Structure 1
């Protein structure tokens, strides 16, 4: 059965990584995957990674304006050629376009990776964000099934999507996994990291929603003088942050890197002060690499650490002093156990294979 995945692009980011994990673990004896992007790829793309899996990857090559004018006709033509029994979309553009074009004979599944009324407002402002959120939910109500990536989002929606169910995100444990002490030492040497220092790391966008200022200030208040904080990623706040903390030898801004997993494997702890998430890919990747995570106490973070002793590393959102207290309370003698608990969280149900199995069960249910 042909299954078509429709996304804006295959930009190297959390949603694309989740899609990769889904199709990588797809039962090819039952499903034949196709991936269709709406827009041209940028330099930071995982297109070749999908092709290497033997997946037929195509693009409409349309920008946002041309997509509005030509999107329906172009997508209809691809549907006629591919003949999918099920289309799985993700993102407001892909979800909305598929709703407008798909015939009733084709099942549509959509994945919602955020709470629109919080995420869109924080990213685009109250007026535009509210309009986008209402438009997105209006279209999602027409989809056969909406997969929410966390129980936290399900609770926030308060029954607004009756056909919603939770399929939690998962991480590719072939790529993100624990490194032994010998490999960690080699990675630190190659990445030019201090061999003995405690290394903290954050990954992802540097924008107000991620609140990197609280993360950095909390680290500086609670860290030992030899500790290092690696800040990976890019975004609207990067230059401001580099200027603000240029005098600190403990903060290193490394920008976007292709080898995130190596920096994670070479580090000791992960920090996220995020104000809003879906079910954060960055946190799952860090845990898979054995990093205890110091996290803001938003519901999305709490869900990941539910039942784990690592819940003690949650700190009050937006409170850099609370983060500093977490740093001061870290117990070096308990570190090996904390690393084991981090990996155990992923093993308990947050792997990409586990996530993919849930999606495939959903497909079979809808197609039966």
Structure 2
């Protein structure tokens, strides 16, 4: 009988990478569940969620009502492991895990360098209550403070980088002209693309200001902003202020296949986050053979290994000089752009293989479930 694994998130829009996991599970060995604390319903078509994934939405419940419904569902479905992602939903789910003696895997996908006291306290409680801590990068673990490291115990920490199926990406056939025509983008342009949730930590405001210098220097460039989030309205106002309404397109949320099709129709991926754990958006872009223009932060340095397939930009350096350098390396030089794209694809195949990622993750699930059975006895 397949092992029953429940993925618990705050909301799906902020954790689309959880959907990649539940869809990728080997159905011969695992039955995946997806539980959202804040959503009242899940649009499967919007998120490309497979029909055999069982779901529970707790958004129409409040307070202890959510915990009671979650506990009842876990018990009735005989869920054998909870894989949690966010601080708030993780904290609540962990009490259910303790109550029902169900093992709990806490995936800590972000860095904590700028955390305040309240956020640190929530992190420490999650670290204490979980059975294992899963980090996608060394950068995430490095962001733990001394007390958090002491409470976590390095023996309970696993570092497993995200992965993606390069075979699936290679098999996806896309007509660039048709895809770009949906957004009235001239296919002769050098198309920059950014994918991700529009929130302050991603700093798309800096991205737009940076791109503005490139757009003023080159007429034949366009930027696609894929995604949504609380910062979107502010970003759209900034685009108008910069006089770039005809040069930047906001697509809104797209299904994963829609995101992949736009990535494969673009020329350059750009992301200027202040901090990241390991960006799934970046891994997806690299798997599509896109060179990356990235802010020079520890996570991106770790992700890009020997700086292949990337042009780094410094947030503390003058924008005009760096924009001119990006223009020379990826707009003016199509041969160099193609070389960087080949390096990006090879990097993905070497370090971020989707099959290896899921095998490592599923092996961790099995270990946790077996340990729980041993604790419970015959």
- Shorter-chain TM range is 0.7 to 0.9
| CA shift digits 1:208-233 (9 cap, x unpaired) | 32222321222222352221122233
* C-alpha spacing 1:44/1:81, structure 2 compared with 1 (3 Å): closer
1:207 to 2:205 alignment: no
Listed as ranges, the matches of 1:95-134 within 5 Å are 95-103=90-98, 105-116=101-112, 118=114, 121=115, 126=116, 130-134=117-121
Number of equivalences: 351
**Where does residue 243 of structure 1 map in the other structure?**
237
Distance (whole Å) between structure 1 residues aligned to residue 39 and residue 128 of structure 2 = 28
Deviations 1:23-57 (A, max 9, x none): 333233333323333333457666874342x2222
Q: 1:44 to 1:173 in 2, by over 3 A?
A: farther
Alignment deviations for residues 126-177 of structure 1 (CA, whole Å, 9 cap, x no partner): 5xxx313311321222211010121110111153522221121223546645
Select which of 145, 158, 163 maps to 1:165.
158
Partner of 2:375: none
Question: Relative to structure 1, is the Cα distance of residues 328 and 44 closer, same or farther in structure 2, using a 3 angstrom cutoff?
Answer: farther
Alpha-carbon distance in 1 for matches of 2:259, 2:196: 10
Indicate the residue corresponding to 1:136 in structure 2: 123
* 1:285 equivalent in alignment to 2:280: no
User: Any unmatched runs of 5+ in structure 1?
Assistant: none
Query: What is the SS of the residue equivalent to 2:129?
Result: coil
CA contact (8 A) 2:8 2:84 kept: yes
Cα pair distance change 1:87/1:326, threshold 3 Å: same
TM-score w.r.t. length of structure 2:
0.82
Counterpart-to-counterpart distance in 2, 1:207 and 1:318? 20
Would you say the 8 A contact 1:95–1:140 is kept in 2?
no
Q: Runs of 5+ in structure 2 lacking a partner?
A: 371-378
Distance 1:206 1:77, change over 3 A: closer
Contact 2:12 2:36 in 1 (8 A): no
Q: Where does residue 12 of structure 2 map in the other structure?
A: 11
- Please say if 1:87 is aligned against 2:85: no
**1:156/1:263 Cα in 2 relative to 1: closer, same or farther (>3 Å)?**
same
In 2 relative to 1, CA 47–321 (structure 1 residues): closer, same or farther, beyond 3 Å?
A: closer
Determine which of 169, 177, 180 is the counterpart of 1:188.
180
How big is each residue's C-alpha offset from its partner over 1:285-339, in whole Å with a ceiling of 9 and x where there is no partner? 211221101000111111221124224x011135434641223333322232222
Matched, 1:314 2:312: yes
- In the alignment, what sits opposite 1:232? 226
In structure 2, what is the Cα distance between the partners aligned to 1:268 and 1:48? 24
Q: Is the 8 A contact 1:178 1:288 kept in 2?
A: no
Which TM-score applies when normalising by structure 1?
A: 0.84
Aligned to 1:328: 328
> Partner of 2:373 in structure 1?
none
Matched position secondary structure for 2:276: coil
